[in-house]
Amino acid sequence: MKLVIKNENGTAVATLSGELDHHNAKELRAELDRFIVTAQPRELAIDFGSITFMDSSGIGLIMGRSKLMKECGGRLEVLNPQPYIRRVMKLAGIERIVKIR
């Protein structure tokens, strides 16, 4: 799992690549949380375009970061999920919590 975060003028994009599963979700959550608390972006978009596999840990990652962003006065979006990942997100009700583009 690789994470690259670019932050410009209060808008950040976190690009993920590889497999998002329970083996790497904890470290990824910690990195994203550290960034959110430190940088305080108004908007954070997590780009799922290069995710090759995702289990339920990805749903938890989105839900937790959405909550933290709201607590910090910002909002979260999900970008470019693969079709099967988007279906998993839809089934989990993520569309009601964050915008998926």
CATH number at residue 51: 3.30.750.24
Largest CA distance in the chain: 33
Q: Tell me which residue range forms the domain holding 28.
A: 2-100
The pLDDT tens digits of the residues spanning 2-24 come to: 999 999 988 999 999 999 999 99
Res. 44: pLDDT tops 90: yes
For CA atoms 23, 26, 27, 28, the dihedral sign is positive
Q: How do residues 57-87 score in pLDDT, each as one tens digit? A: 999 999 999 999 999 999 999 999 999 999 9
Helix (H) or strand (E) run with residue 77 in it: strand 75-79
Residue 57 token pair: 């840990």
Residue 1 has pLDDT above 90, yes or no: no
The count of domains in the chain is 1
**pLDDT of 98 over the 90 cut:** yes
Predicted confidence at residue 91, as pLDDT, reads 95
